[in-house]
Amino acid sequence: MAGEESHLEEGPLHVLKWDQGLFKHITRGFQFPPEWDAQYPRQCQTAADAPPGYITLFEDFFLQGNFRLPETEFMAHILNYYGFHISQMSPPDMVRVRHFEFLCRSHGIEPTVERSRVFYQLIRNMGFYLFGNRGSTKKILLNPPKSFHDWKHKFFFIREEVFPIAMIFPESDTIEKEELSIPNGADWYLKLTATPNRIFGKNVLVAAQMSDQWPEDINELPVLKFQDRGLFFP
């Protein structure tokens, strides 16, 4: 975490002209409908300059963190429980949240905030909210991405209606530290073993109930397979 935190500098950011072609790839490839009105930032705009009625999202949420819109109930519960805005989350922490959700789904376990808190604790650093590993519990994420080059400069704006919850920017920087007991004997805890992060395609995320972007005119069901054997279904 120390290496990641050192890059979370405070203050206004100068816009890096990230490729508009990549922005269009995101809006088209991840099926953003026109009413979401995703907007590429103008020159000299920063991630803090979302117009009224819009929010800021980072490109690496989608390309590195398996994030999809509309958001899942678990993501909404995370933001609601901790009480911060999604634009205050970094891509490495999006990776942690979505990896935990996928790991639970793949084992038939309901992902909950209470269960995620067993593995991660909230940290605030330079205006962003991070999920640090709890030292007293096992690690479940292996080989997380090491580099998110210039991720703060690669952002866009989108209508706030894509999120069904009212997000806030906390007024206080204070985060209460909490000690949690480790459920070493719980069946769900034993099932969640350390796995590496992977970037998944549409069919896997739909099968894992982490995306609803499946064409209505296709009769087939998305299925995750390994060695021609179906592992889980939607």
CA distance 224 to 226: 7
CA distance 141 to 100: 8
CA distance 90 to 58: 8
CA distance 219 to 230: 17
Specify the DSSP class assigned to residue 195.
E
CA distance 79 to 60: 18
Q: Give residue-wise pLDDT tens across range 89-99.
A: 999 999 999 99
130 DSSP β-pair partners: 123
Helix (H, G, I), strand (E, B) or coil at 141: strand
Contact 85, 55 (CB under 8 A): yes
Q: Which of 192, 170, 196 is nearest to 183 (CA)?
A: 192
pLDDT score of 220: 58
Overall pTM surpassing 0.85 (yes/no) = no
Strands (E), 136-187: 141-142, 155-159
Token pair belonging to 133: 């590993």
pLDDT score of 156: 96
pLDDT score of 63: 92
pLDDT score of 217: 52
For the chain, the domains span 2-212+220-232
pLDDT score of 233: 47
CB atoms within 10 A of CB 133: 15
CA distance 116 to 75: 11
| CA 138, chain centre distance (Å) | 21
Q: Which of 216, 180, 224 is nearest to 200 (CA)?
A: 224
CA distance 31 to 104: 26
pLDDT score of 7: 39
Residues of the chain with pLDDT under 50: 1-12, 226, 230-234
